[in-house]
Structures are given as structure tokens and as C-alpha cells.
């Protein structure tokens, strides 16, 4: 170990959602005096509004901090922030790989939860030193001893002398900093070996191009050198290297083994810099990349359309901008008879999808119509060919299909024991294969299941929350594709198929779903001058029908004392409303109504 390495501590903070990860990061920043408190924006690491609002971090960021320890020595802390949601599990694991230790934050009022465990396991898999931190001890309902016991019993790591803090009020933060120095190992690695640097994040900057965040594992990375990204073998010339300070990028000559920093190299898109990839030198490079790299593929697809068709170009630009910083977002143009021009977008998961939608609406001021999310189905055709289907409208007709397959997830649910019954019932309704049940302690149970992703994106998460009064937590990852009986369900208004409403469903579920959606359409389609038949069909077989009766009354009875302005205003208002209507065949539907039909998860 070099002298330099001895003074470096690379760590992440991991936690279940809302356990206080970002707040603790703030306090650590504050205490290390990297920035004066008054200058510091709340939650500096989370630099996107939306993330802040949801209390989660989407893109990893890192920052280098100076800390003068009680032993009188000066240390460099590299705090690598991690995304905090199940959709970003792979990114979390790569961030952890860049560290030697992790602060595992546990809310003293909640104890260990599903993502606490999932994150802890990830950290253990990456051979990290785990430093538990019990947070929120300022709250009246805090049970510090209970949290300690859970950490020891459930996760199996010692916690008797772990720091108990309140990140919110800044209590005992010093203890955490000292523990980082004493308990987290300094990095190792030979600065003179062949270069191996791990990419754990990147972001697009309009001046610098892509800024790549790396942890140098072996060797030294120098400005001006030619590098190779080992996954695809693409080469670039390094323009700049440096460290990330709280106030911004700080240019240096080189980064050596154990250090965390950034590279710029005229890289145009973040898609070229895959998280988990290894950077080496073009000449005398490493033979083997660092372990653990994999391609990330979208799991959930949805059609996104501008509510106002004229804003298609704006939507494309907005998606392109978001993609600059989010290689996991994919999209391609698609056309719907009902919705016009839009994009089929792929996401890592439901949350990722919601975040993108919200950012499009908020940052780019777009009104969107989104179709029901769909997973990717695999269909083996009678012709012998196998196709992947991410869009219900592309689903082959029943007579072409030999076997269809759907993605099945390995899921973990942690819940207080009193809700186990309800959750078991739910799982039975959802084609769930029960694998295992484990009592974590006397009050909580960990359930292992295998369930189709199709069920998760439908409404499983909300149903789980409602059946456990919000206490159950869920974590899942892809297990495999399994054969399934899938059918495409179409909806017709006035006898015409509305393509945007089609979706793929497990055969036995088709009848109930069809009825539910037909009813919802009936409730939400405003009465028109004519009667509207609603039909749900599998192929040519009608399996549900409803009718929207013709409107009977829409009249302004009186023109008061010659005041015709009221009537004019009313008509103008009606005409305005009509402009916003979406034509579904010959039927006009408000965008709100359309969304209400697609939102299937709110009343089950």
C-alpha cells in the first residue's frame, strides 16, 4: 500500500428508501467542511429536483472530501452515491464495486427492510466492509437497540458499537467520520501495473462531452494517454483527468490505483461508456477486464405520445436530451392510429418509467399520453423463428404462435407478520410461485417468490402496499423467461379497434381485465350525440361489452334579457375542450379519460 492509498477511504451509503441516505450524505459534506453550510444546497449529491422530491437518487455521483481525523492525519474520502431503487440494482452494484466500504443506514423507527437487506447483500457480494449507521434517533419512536439487534440477527454483521445518529439534526456525525477512518480499509492496487479503471457512472456535459466517473483499481490513468474501453474495444484519447470536489471538477495530471475521479475524452454519448466497463490503456493494456460487467436491457416498455400532436418534435428532442445522461433509456418512433406519432420507450423498470415521464412533463413542459406499460415477451413462432415483442400491437396472431414466454422475476418481500396472510392471498391471485418463507425475527417475515414481471407492472406493488398498510417492501430481479399462455386483448369503440388500448395478458386473466377496462371506458367516455358500443376482443371473439348511451341533455335554457354573451362563452369553452379531445375512431375522448383507462392500478 502506498502512502497515498493509506489516506484514501472509498465508500458508499446504502439504505432502504427514506431511511435518510441523502441527509446523511449532506451532513458528512457539511462536517468535512468541503463547503460551508450556508453555501450548500440541501442534498447536494442529489442534484435533480425530481430525485429530491421523491427522496431517491437516480444517477450515481461521487465527491471527494478532506477530513482531518482525531489522530491528526488528513484523509481523502471518496463518497460514491448510489441509486436507491430496485430498478437500478446493477448500477448500485457497480458503484459498490468502486468502494472498499459502505455505510448501511438503518432507520431506527423502521428497522431493516427489503432494500436494506438487498443492498447489504450487494455490499457483501462486493466484499465491502459494512459500517452500520442507525439514523433518525431524534424521533420519539426510535428504537436504537431494536435496530441494532435486527442488523446483527437479520444481516449478520456486528452492530454493538455502530454509530447512532440523527442526520436531520446533525447528531453524532463525527462518530461516523471516525468510523470511516478506522473501520473502512484503505484501497490497494499497484500504481505501476497495467491500467484497470472501473466506470461506475457518466454524465453528459455540453462543453466537455461525456464525463466518465471511474475508480482506478490498478495502474495509473494520465491525461493525454490513449485509452480503450474493454467491453466494445473503442478507443479514445484522454483530454482531462481529475477529481470531483464539492465545488466542481478539479483537474489533475493523473489518477492512480485507489483513487476515484473523472475522465473526459471527447466521448459523444453516454451510451459509449457502459457502467461496469473497464478502462485500460490502448498500449500495454490489461489482459482481463474487471469482473461483473453486463449489458443492461430495458425491462418495461411503454408508448409515449404528446397530448398535442404538434409537439412530436419537442418530445423527440426531450427524449434525446434525457438519453444523453441515461444510457438505459431507449426509444424509437412508433405510430398509433389512435394517438398519432410518438415513441416506444424502454425503461429499466416502472420507477424509471415514471421518472422519465415526470421529467418530460416537468422539465420539458410536455403533456403526455402514455400507453399501459408492457414487458418484453418472447414468442416462438410456428415457423421456428423466435421474436421478442415489446409492443402489444406487434404480438403475433394466435395461429402463428408455437409457444410464448414471459419474463419471471425472483422477488423478495419483507413484511410484518400480521400481513403475511393477505400477501400470500395476493400472491396466489397473481400467478406467483412461492419459494421460501423465513422469519427474520418474531415480528417480520421474508418471503421469496417467483412472479411474472407482467404482474408486477400491472398493479402488484400497489396491491402489496395496500394489503400491508404500506409496511411490506419489495425487491426483485430477472430470473428467466418461462412458457406462458398469453393472449392479446383488443378494445373496440364503435366497432373500431383502438390500437393504443391493446395489451397482452395471461389468458385466464383476460376476461376479468377486459370487463374492468370496458367498464372504465364506459365511465370515462363522455356521452356523445350517438350511442357508443364498447367491446373487448381476443382475436375475433368478443369477451366483454358495454355501451355509452347517447347524450340526452346539453342545453342552455335561457338567454337572459338579451345577454347572449353567456351562451357564447359557454360554447367557446366547449369548443376549447373539444380541441383537446383525442379521436379514437369516431369517438372523442379527453386525454384525462384516456389516461384514467390506462391507469389500471388505482382501484383494485
Binding site for other proteins (CB under 8 A): 528-530, 550-565, 567-568, 570-571, 574-575, 578
Distance CA 373, CA 456 (A): 11
CB of 523 to other proteins, least distance (A): 15
CB of 348 to other proteins, least distance (A): 44
Distances (CA, A) of 89 to 45, 99, 133, 271, 353: 19, 16, 21, 18, 15
Rounded to 5 degrees, what angle do the CA atoms 517, 522, 527 make?
A: 155
| CB contact burial 130-151 (16+ within 10 A = b; e otherwise) | bbbbbbbbeeeebbbebbbbbb
CB of 602 to other proteins, least distance (A): 25
CB of 346 to other proteins, least distance (A): 40
CB of 124 to other proteins, least distance (A): 59
CB of 420 to other proteins, least distance (A): 42
CB of 410 to other proteins, least distance (A): 51
Listed residue (600, 403, 388, 402) closest to 501, CA to CA: 600
Rounded to 5 degrees, what angle do the CA atoms 246, 354, 109 make?
A: 65
Strands (E), 223-292: 226-229, 234-237, 240-245, 248-252, 254-256, 260-264, 278-281
The DSSP output letter for 595 is H
Nearer to other proteins, 510 or 532 (CB): 532
Nearer to other proteins, 387 or 581 (CB): 581
Nearer to other proteins, 516 or 522 (CB): 522
CB of 594 to other proteins, least distance (A): 20
CB of 564 to other proteins, least distance (A): 7
Nearer to other proteins, 193 or 556 (CB): 556
Nearer to other proteins, 139 or 571 (CB): 571
Nearer to other proteins, 541 or 575 (CB): 575
Nearer to other proteins, 38 or 575 (CB): 575
Cα radius of gyration (the chain): 27
Nearer to other proteins, 232 or 567 (CB): 567
Nearer to other proteins, 38 or 579 (CB): 579
The answer to whether 430 and 454 have CB atoms below 8 angstroms apart is no
Rounded to 5 degrees, what angle do the CA atoms 387, 390, 396 make?
A: 50
CB of 350 to other proteins, least distance (A): 38
CB of 603 to other proteins, least distance (A): 24
Distances (CA, A) of 58 to 45, 356, 396, 496: 11, 11, 36, 41
Nearer to other proteins, 251 or 568 (CB): 568
Nearer to other proteins, 422 or 526 (CB): 526
CB of 520 to other proteins, least distance (A): 21
CB of 553 to other proteins, least distance (A): 5
Neighbours of 441 (CB within 10 A): 14
Residues 6+ apart with CB under 8 A from 555: none
Nearer to other proteins, 139 or 556 (CB): 556
CB of 559 to other proteins, least distance (A): 6
Handedness of CA 139, 145, 148, 152 (dihedral sign): negative
Distance CA 529, CA 557 (A): 18
Distances (CA, A) of 590 to 4, 516, 579: 64, 19, 9
* CA–centroid distance for 537 within its chain: 33
Distance CA 507, CA 512 (A): 10
Residues 6+ apart with CB under 8 A from 91: 60, 82, 83, 200, 201, 275, 296
- The backbone torsions φ and ψ at residue 309, rounded to the nearest 5 degrees and listed phi first, read -55, -25
The answer to whether 401 and 377 have CB atoms below 8 angstroms apart is no
Nearer to other proteins, 485 or 567 (CB): 567
Rounded to 5 degrees, what angle do the CA atoms 181, 184, 190 make?
A: 105
Which three-class secondary structure state does DSSP give residue 545?
strand
Nearer to other proteins, 437 or 556 (CB): 556
Distance CA 73, CA 51 (A): 35
Distance CA 167, CA 27 (A): 6
Amino acid at each position: 500500500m502506498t502512502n497515498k492509498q493509506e489516506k484514501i477511504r472509498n465508500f458508499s451509503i446504502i439504505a432502504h428508501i427514506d431511511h435518510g441516505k441523502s441527509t446523511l450524505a449532506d451532513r458528512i459534506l457539511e462536517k468535512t467542511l468541503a463547503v460551508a453550510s450556508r453555501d450548500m444546497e440541501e442534498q447536494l449529491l442529489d442534484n435533480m429536483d425530481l430525485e429530491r422530491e421523491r427522496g431517491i437518487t437516480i444517477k450515481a455521483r461521487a465527491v471527494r472530501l478532506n477530513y482531518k481525523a482525531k489522530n491528526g492525519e488528513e484523509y481523502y474520502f471518496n463518497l460514491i452515491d448510489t441509486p436507491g431503487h430496485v430498478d437500478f440494482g446493477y448500477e448500485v452494484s457497480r458503484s459498490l464495486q468502486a468502494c472498499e466500504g459502505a455505510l448501511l443506514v438503518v432507520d431506527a423507527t423502521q428497522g431493516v427492510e427489503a432494500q436494506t437487506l438487498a443492498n447489504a447483500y450487494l455490499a457483501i457480494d462486493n466484499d465491502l466492509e459494512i459500517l452500520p449507521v442507525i439514523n433518525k434517533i431524534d424521533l420519539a419512536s426510535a428504537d436504537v437497540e431494536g435496530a441494532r439487534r435486527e442488523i446483527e440477527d437479520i444481516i449478520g454483521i456486528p452492530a454493538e458499537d455502530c454509530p447512532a445518529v440523527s442526520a436531520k439534526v446533525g447528531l453524532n456525525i463525527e462518530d461516523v467520520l471516525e468510523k470511516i477512518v478506522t473501520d473502512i480499509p484503505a484501497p490497494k492496487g499497484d500504481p505501476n501495473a497495467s491500467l484497470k479503471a472501473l466506470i461506475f457512472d457518466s454524465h453528459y456535459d455540453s462543453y466537455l462531452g461525456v464525463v466518465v466517473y471511474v475508480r482506478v483499481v490498478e495502474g495509473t490513468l494520465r491525461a493525454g494517454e490513449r485509452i480503450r474501453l474493454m467491453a466494445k474495444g473503442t478507443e479514445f484519447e484522454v483530454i482531462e483527468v481529475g477529481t470531483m470536489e464539492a465545488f466542481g471538477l478539479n483537474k489533475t495530471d493523473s489518477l492512480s490505483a485507489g483513487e476515484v475521479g473523472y475522465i473526459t475524452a471527447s466521448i459523444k454519448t453516454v451510451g459509449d461508456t457502459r457502467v461496469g466497463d473497464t478502462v485500460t490503456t490502448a498500449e500495454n493494456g490489461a489482459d482481463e477486464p474487471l469482473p461483473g460487467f453486463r449489458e443492461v436491457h430495458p425491462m418495461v416498455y411503454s408508448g409515449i405520445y404528446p397530448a398535442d400532436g404538434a409537439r412530436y418534435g419537442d418530445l423527440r428532442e426531450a427524449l434525446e436530451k434525457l438519453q444523453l445522461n441515461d444510457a438505459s433509456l431507449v426509444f424509437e418512433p412508433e405510430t398509433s392510429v389512435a394517438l398519432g406519432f410518438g415513441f416506444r420507450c424502454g425503461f429499466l423498470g416502472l420507477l424509471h418509467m415514471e421518472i422519465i415521464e415526470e421529467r418530460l412533463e416537468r422539465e420539458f413542459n410536455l403533456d403526455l399520453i402514455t400507453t399501459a406499460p408492457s414487458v418484453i415477451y418472447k414468442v416462438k413462432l410456428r415457423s421456428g423463428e423466435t421474436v421478442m415483442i415489446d409492443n402489444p400491437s406487434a404480438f403475433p396472431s394466435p395461429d402463428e404462435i408455437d409457444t410464448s414466454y414471459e419474463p419471471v422475476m425472483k422477488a423478495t418481500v419483507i413484511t410484518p407478520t400480521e400481513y403475511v396472510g393477505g400477501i400470500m392471498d395476493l400472491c396466489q391471485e397473481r400467478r406467483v410461485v412461492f419459494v421460501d418463507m423465513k422469519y427474520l425475527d418474531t415480528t417480520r417475515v421474508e418471503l421469496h417468490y417467483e412472479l411474472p414481471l407482467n404482474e408486477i407492472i400491472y398493479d402488484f406493488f400497489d396491491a402489496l402496499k395496500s394489503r400491508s398498510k404500506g409496511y411490506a417492501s419489495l425487491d426483485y430481479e430477472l430470473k428467466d423467461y418461462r412458457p406462458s399462455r398469453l393472449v392479446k386483448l383488443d378494445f373496440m369503440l364503435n366497432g373500431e379497434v383502438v390500437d393504443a388500448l391493446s395489451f397482452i395478458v395471461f389468458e385466464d386473466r383476460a376476461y376479468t381485465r377486459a370487463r374492468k377496462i370496458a367498464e372504465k371506458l364506459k365511465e370515462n367516455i363522455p356521452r356523445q350525440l350517438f350511442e357508443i358500443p364498447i367491446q373487448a376482443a381476443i382475436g375475433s371473439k368478443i369477451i366483454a361489452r358495454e355501451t355509452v348511451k347517447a347524450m340526452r341533455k346539453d342545453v342552455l335554457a335561457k338567454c337572459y334579457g338579451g345577454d347572449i354573451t353567456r351562451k357564447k362563452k359557454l360554447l367557446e369553452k366547449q369548443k376549447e375542450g373539444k380541441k383537446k379531445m383525442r379521436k379514437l375512431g369516431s369517438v372523442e375522448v379527453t386525454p384525462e379519460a384516456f389516461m384514467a383507462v390506462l391507469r389500471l392500478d388505482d382501484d383494485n
